[in-house]
Amino acid sequence: MKIHQFSIDEALASLHSHHEGLLAAQVENRLREYGPNRVEQVQGEPLWLSFIREFVHFFALILWIAAGLAFFAESRHPGEGMAMLGYAILGVIVINGLFSFWQQYRAERAIAALQKLLPQHVKVIRDGKVGLIFAAALVPGDVILLQEGDNVPADCRLLEAFSLRVNNATVTGESRPQARDALPSSEERLEHSRNTLLAGTSVVSGEGRALVFATGMHTEFGKIAHLTQTASKTRSPLQREIVRLSRLIAILAVTLGLVFFLIGHSMHMSFWDNFIFAIGIIVANVPEGLLPTVTLSLAMATQRMAKRNALIRHLPSVEALGSATVICTDKTGTLTENRMTVNALYLDGQMLTPTAVQRQPELAHTHRRLFEDALLCHNLKETLLNGKWQLMGDPMEIALVRMAKTCLGEVRGYPKINEVPFDTDRKRLSTIHHTPAGIVLYCKGALEALLPLCTQIQTAAGTVPMTQDARQAYLNAQEDMAGRGLRVLAFAWRMLEDSHNAPAQERDLILAGLVGLEDPPRPEVPAAISKCRAAGIKVIMITGDHPHTAQAIGRQIGQIQTDNPIVITGEQLHRLSDIQLRLVLDAPDLIFARVGADQKMRIVTALKKKKHVVAVTGDGVNDAPALKTADIGIAMGVAGTDVAKEAADMVLLDDNFASIVAAIEEGRTVYENIRKFLTYILTSNIPEVVPYLAFALLKIPLPLTIIQILAVDLGTDMLPALGLGAAKPEPGNMAKPPRPRKERLLDWRLLTRAYLFLGVMEAIAAMSAYFYVLYSGGWQWGEGRDSQDPLYLKATTACFSAIIVMQIVNVFLCKTPERSVFSAPAFDNRIILGGIVLEIALVVIIDYTAWGNLIFGTLPLAPDVWLFILPFALAMLLLEEVRKFAVAKWKYWTGKS
- Nearest CA among 667, 666, 676 for reference residue 821: 676
| Class of the CATH-defined domain 341-409+425-518 | alpha beta
Average pLDDT over residues 637-663: 76
Examine the pLDDT at 653 and tell me if it is beyond 60.
yes
What is the distance between the alpha carbons of residues 358 and 591, in angstroms, rounded to a whole number? 38
Query: Would you call 151 helix, strand, or coil by DSSP?
Result: strand
Asked if 581 and 606 count as a contact pair (C-beta separation under 8 A), the reply is yes
Domain segments of the chain as ranges? 3-8+121-224, 310-337+522-655, 341-409+425-518, 685-894
**Other beta carbons less than 10 A from residue 378's beta carbon:** 23
Please confirm, yes or no, whether 330 is among the known catalytic residues: yes
Asked if 595 and 305 count as a contact pair (C-beta separation under 8 A), the reply is no
Examine the pLDDT at 249 and tell me if it is beyond 80.
no
Looking at residue 115, what is its pLDDT?
Answer: 45
Q: What is the mean pLDDT of the chain?
A: 83
Report the largest interatomic distance among the alpha carbons of the chain, rounded to a whole angstrom: 122
Assign 110 a pLDDT band (cuts: 50, 70, 90). very low
Looking at residue 670, what is its pLDDT?
Answer: 80
Asked if 624 and 643 count as a contact pair (C-beta separation under 8 A), the reply is yes
Query: Would you call 723 helix, strand, or coil by DSSP?
Result: helix
Assign 875 a pLDDT band (cuts: 50, 70, 90). very high
User: What phi-psi label fits residue 893: left (phi over 0), alpha (psi between -120 and 50 degrees) or beta?
Assistant: alpha
User: What phi-psi label fits residue 110: left (phi over 0), alpha (psi between -120 and 50 degrees) or beta?
Assistant: alpha
Q: Which amino acid is at 524?
A: E
- Chain-centre distance of CA 825, in angstroms? 33
What is the distance between the alpha carbons of residues 423 and 165, in angstroms, rounded to a whole number? 9
For the chain, how big is the Rg over CA atoms in Å?
36
Start-to-end Cα distance in the chain: 63
Query: Would you call 596 helix, strand, or coil by DSSP?
Result: coil
Fold for domain 685-894? Calcium-transporting ATPase, transmembrane domain (1.20.1110)
Domain boundaries 3-8+121-224, corresponding CATH code:
2.70.150.10
What is the distance between the alpha carbons of residues 238 and 670, in angstroms, rounded to a whole number? 10
At 847-862, the pLDDT tens digits run: 999 999 988 889 999 9
Asked if 102 and 52 count as a contact pair (C-beta separation under 8 A), the reply is no
What is the distance between the alpha carbons of residues 437 and 496, in angstroms, rounded to a whole number? 10
What is the distance between the alpha carbons of residues 507 and 500, in angstroms, rounded to a whole number? 14
Assign 893 a pLDDT band (cuts: 50, 70, 90). confident
Query: Would you call 466 helix, strand, or coil by DSSP?
Result: coil
At 315-351, the pLDDT tens digits run: 667 767 788 899 999 887 788 887 788 999 999 999 9
Looking at residue 102, what is its pLDDT?
Answer: 67
Looking at residue 651, what is its pLDDT?
Answer: 83
Q: Which of 330, 373, 623, 642 is catalytic?
A: 330
Number of H helices, E strands in the chain: 35, 26
At 559-568, the pLDDT tens digits run: 998 888 999 9
Average pLDDT over residues 338-367: 89
Asked if 238 and 61 count as a contact pair (C-beta separation under 8 A), the reply is no
Q: Which CATH architecture has domain 310-337+522-655?
A: 3-Layer(aba) Sandwich (3.40)
What is the distance between the alpha carbons of residues 141 and 27, in angstroms, rounded to a whole number? 9
Examine the pLDDT at 116 and tell me if it is beyond 70.
no
What is the distance between the alpha carbons of residues 248 and 261, in angstroms, rounded to a whole number? 20
Looking at residue 114, what is its pLDDT?
Answer: 44
Examine the pLDDT at 173 and tell me if it is beyond 70.
no
Looking at residue 161, what is its pLDDT?
Answer: 86
What is the distance between the alpha carbons of residues 154 and 146, in angstroms, rounded to a whole number? 11
User: Virtual CA dihedral for 147, 151, 156, 158, nearest 10 degrees?
Assistant: 20
